[in-house]
Amino acid sequence: MRVLTIPVTPFMQNARFITCEVTGKSAVIDPGGDPDKLLSVIAEHSLKVDAILLTHGHLDHVGAADILRDKLNVKIIGPHKDELFWFDALPMQAQMFGFPPKETFLPDNWLEPGDTVLVGEIRLEVLFCPGHTPGHIVFYEKSAKIAFVGDVLFKGGIGRTDFPKGNSAQLKESIKHTLFSLPDETLVLSGHGENTSIGHEKRTNPFMSGQYG
């Protein structure tokens, strides 16, 4: 699996293109904005994008999804249906985050815990990790030991829970019981910032050790 990371919007959100090296099929995970930039990347690398995958409904992760769907004639898959609140609130989110106006749209398919998403021969397991938002999911590729975690876990940090329907205790439970059950060598690809690993965060993350709350 090849992974190409393209930071988008002033929030520097990590949009990720994943490509199956056997079939050449690709998907984009969390295209948060700058659709022209993302379309240029697709053209430059001759990517065959078959799907748009979303971890949660915050605008800085979904802002270009509907535009790419229309341009590429593909489906938006995920997140969990408990994110409906955030999709319905896209116009409000645009005001809240200082983005240009945004109309409401919905994914084509919601995902459930235990579902599997195929991108060529890449098998992404769907892990349910609420807390940052109520329906946040993580895409985990077991053979490569890579987790696309959205805004659940960061290098030295965890997702914010001060937005509507955020829940700090629930977020920490998701990290402890779901993410920290993955192998220590699992590469963590977060929605913002640097990559990290499960083992590193288990050992050093101050929010999970009790150092910060």
- Model pLDDT for residues 19-43, shown as the tens digit of each residue: 999 999 999 999 999 999 999 999 9
**Does residue 181 register a pLDDT over 60?**
yes
The C-alpha torsion from 143 through 145 and 148 to 153, rounded to 10°, is 150
How confident is the model at residue 192, as a pLDDT?
98
Q: Give pLDDT, residue 108.
A: 98
Half-sphere exposure of 199 (CA within 13 A, CB side): 6
- Residue 28 to residue 34: CA distance in whole angstroms: 13
C-alpha closest to that of 61 among 141, 7, 98: 7
Antiparallel, parallel or unpaired: β 187-190 and 146-150 = parallel
Indicate the burial class of 44 (C-beta count within 10 angstroms; 0-12, 13-18, 19 or more). Answer: exposed
Q: What is the pTM of this model?
A: 0.97
pLDDT at 133: 98
Quick check: 132 pLDDT over 60? yes
Residue 161 belongs to domain with CATH number = 3.60.15.10
* Partners of residue 126 on adjacent β-strands: 139
Q: Which residues pair with 109 in a beta bridge?
A: 77
**Cα(76)–Cα(27) distance, rounded to whole angstroms?**
10
Q: Number of folded domains in the chain?
A: 1
| Mean pLDDT on 189-196 | 98
**Which residues, in sequence order, are bridge partners of residue 119?**
122
Residue with tokens 């993955």: 182
Residues ≥6 apart with Cβ < 8 Å to 94: 59, 100, 101, 102
Instruction: Residue 13: give the domain boundaries.
Output: 2-209
Q: What is the mean pLDDT of the chain?
A: 97
